């Protein structure tokens, strides 16, 4: 192992401690990560629009000078960070993976970008996403595809696919992402890391064109350890007056304990494939159930759980909400020259269907979402955590746009195969993808999705930390 590898192998929390103890300089940290990025990123295409090395090293030197003068910006002081290409970062293009936006350089930071910078991170570039962040497969005509960290022949997932791969391959100490339909959870599950969709409003998303209605997507953290996940969420979280529905309640990573004994007595309701409703490829339920059995061996109480709500009604509710929110985003690009020719078919499908959505349809969908939220509250009377697979398919071929078939069932939309992610989204629940295991014959990871009570982010993180303690050997596995 080289000295550079020793640095990039550290957890983010250990790295932060080493930087603040002056055991390693910010320049050495930046050099180590840049060396790894330059070696691996041409293979994985996870980080795009990189800043020049000289500029990044100069920022690292400035961070070292601040520490020498006794000043720390925060937990991320001197840490390299690449921000998902949906997040505005001053001086970097926010392309959304679209050739229509390749020159759209951000003049201001988003709330999350500003908070990570204020905590001391040095932005090295952006992480790759699917075009317009639609679909859980990271490819676009502007930058190309990002392959899986464990098998370059299959997808990394998405839309935070570049972030997940950069993290799994130690090109970043932690990563940020956003989650609308599993975009923090799905790529985390497929790359053997942790990804958390926080409670709705925990991390202010924006400011954007609409701050009142557009509340299905949220930004959040990805990490290789639960401690890092919680620490990054603490940096990202907190009310912002420009995002009025952001939560005013505080979040703290203090008190988190990675102790297997904390699993005892945790009541977990296992949804599985919703009694056969969710088309699921062979082996996925078995891997997730093995993860649950390891939790049960440490005292968790795992019981089968029925969702108890009309699943077709929920799917129609989802389609209406998605059309209402995605349609205007795509529509904002339609006035650009030759836009329709440069927008992928799936995005055009979203836009065209949004034009037929009536206010009455959307109002009914909002009422369905309200009913479902109240129903979820009743489920949490009997369980502490709700579990189901984070994905319904194993990572699929890189050249495939999306799975059109699961077993004998045809997928009727480009995202129907991701249906298992909509329940936490519609409920605004915190949800974490934890590494569950691997395919029986392929090097493909799978994640188990754990959903907590509304605004119960800290309690859910504690369950995930206990899970981490139980699964040390599994979590130590890393891609070649």
Does residue 199 surpass a pLDDT of 60? yes
The mean pLDDT value for 372-398 works out to 98
Q: Name the band, by pLDDT with cuts 50, 70 and 90, for residue 4.
A: confident
Mean pLDDT over the full length of the chain = 97
C-alpha separations of 270 from 37, 133, 193, 285, 331 in Å:
39, 29, 21, 10, 39
The tens digit of pLDDT for each residue in 70-120 reads 999 999 999 999 999 999 999 999 999 999 999 999 999 999 999 999 999
Does residue 214 surpass a pLDDT of 80? yes
Q: Are 357 and 328 in contact (CB under 8 A)?
A: no
To the question of pTM greater than 0.95 for the whole model, the response is yes
Tell me what percent of the residues of the chain surpass a pLDDT of 90.
98
Return the biggest CA–CA distance within the chain. Answer: 65
The tens digit of pLDDT for each residue in 27-68 reads 999 999 999 999 999 999 999 999 999 999 999 999 999 999
The tens digit of pLDDT for each residue in 113-151 reads 999 999 999 999 999 999 999 999 999 999 999 999 999
The mean pLDDT value for 440-465 works out to 98
Does residue 6 surpass a pLDDT of 90? yes
Does residue 276 surpass a pLDDT of 90? yes
Does residue 1 surpass a pLDDT of 60? no
Please tell me the CATH superfamily of domain 3-475, with its number: Amidase signature (AS) domain (3.90.1300.10)
The mean pLDDT value for 230-239 works out to 98
C-alpha separations of 217 from 141, 211, 294 in Å:
24, 11, 32
The mean pLDDT value for 209-224 works out to 95
The mean pLDDT value for 325-335 works out to 96
Q: Are 273 and 417 in contact (CB under 8 A)?
A: no
The mean pLDDT value for 209-213 works out to 93
Contacts of 272 (CB under 8 A, 6+ apart): 285, 288, 289, 304, 388, 389
Q: Which two tokens stand for residue 225?
A: 């350890």
Which pLDDT value is given to residue 95?
98
Peptide bond into 41 cis (omega under 30): no
Q: What is the DSSP string of 129-177?
A: -SGGG-SSS---TTT---B-SS-TTBB--SSSHHHHHHHHTTSSSSEEE
Q: Are 178 and 205 in contact (CB under 8 A)?
A: yes
């Amino acid at each position: 192992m080289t000295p550079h590898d020793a640095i990039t192998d550290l957890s983010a929390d250990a790295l932060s401690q080493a930087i603040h103890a002056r055991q390693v300089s910010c320049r050495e940290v930046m050099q180590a990560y840049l060396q790894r990025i330059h070696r691996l990123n041409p293979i994985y295409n996870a980080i795009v629009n990189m800043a020049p090395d000289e500029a990044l090293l100069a920022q690292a030197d400035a961070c070292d000078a601040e520490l020498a003068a006794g000043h720390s910006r925060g937990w991320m002081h001197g840490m390299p960070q690449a921000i998902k290409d949906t997040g505005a970062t001053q001086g970097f293009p926010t392309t959304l993976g679209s050739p229509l936006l390749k020159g759209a350089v951000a003049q201001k930071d988003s709330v999350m970008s500003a908070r990570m910078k204020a905590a001391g991170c040095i932005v090295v570039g952006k992480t790759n996403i699917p075009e317009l962040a639609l679909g859980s497969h990271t490819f676009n005509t502007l930058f190309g595809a990002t392959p899986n960290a464990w098998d370059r022949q299959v997808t990394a997932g998405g839309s935070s696919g570049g972030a997940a791969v950069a993290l799994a391959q130690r090109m970043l100490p932690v990563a940020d992402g956003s989650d609308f339909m599993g975009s923090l959870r799905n790529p985390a599950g497929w790359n053997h890391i942790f990804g958390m969709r926080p409670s709705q409003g925990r991390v202010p998303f924006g400011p954007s064109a609409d701050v009142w209605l557009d509340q299905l997507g949220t930004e959040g953290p990805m990490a290789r350890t639960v401690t890092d996940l919680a620490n990054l969420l603490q940096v990202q979280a907190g009310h912002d007056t420009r995002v009025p529905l952001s939560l005013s309640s505080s979040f703290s990573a203090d008190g988190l304990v990675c102790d297997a004994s904390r699993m005892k007595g945790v009541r977990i309701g296992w949804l599985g494939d919703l009694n056969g409703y969710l088309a699921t490829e062979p082996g996925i339920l078995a891997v997730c159930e093995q993860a649950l059995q390891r939790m049960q061996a440490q005292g968790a109480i795992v019981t089968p759980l029925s969702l108890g709500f009309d699943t077709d009604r929920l799917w129609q509710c989802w389609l209406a909400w998605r059309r209402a929110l995605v349609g205007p985003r795509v529509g904002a690009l339609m006035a650009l020259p030759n836009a329709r020719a440069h927008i992928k078919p799936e995005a055009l499908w979203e836009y065209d269907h949004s034009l037929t959505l009536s206010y009455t349809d959307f109002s009914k969908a909002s009422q369905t979402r309200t009913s479902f939220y109240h129903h979820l509250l009743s489920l949490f009377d009997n369980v502490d955590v709700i579990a189901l697979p984070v994905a319904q398919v194993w990572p699929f071929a890189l050249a495939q746009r999306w799975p059109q078939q699961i077993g004998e069932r045809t997928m009727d939309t480009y995202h129907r195969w991701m249906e298992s992610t909509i329940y936490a989204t519609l409920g605004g629940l915190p949800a974490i993808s934890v590494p569950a295991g691997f395919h029986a014959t392929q090097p493909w990871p799978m994640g188990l999705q754990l959903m907590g009570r509304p605004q119960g982010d800290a309690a859910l993180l504690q369950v995930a930390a206990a899970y981490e303690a139980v699964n040390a050997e599994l979590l130590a596995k890393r891609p070649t």
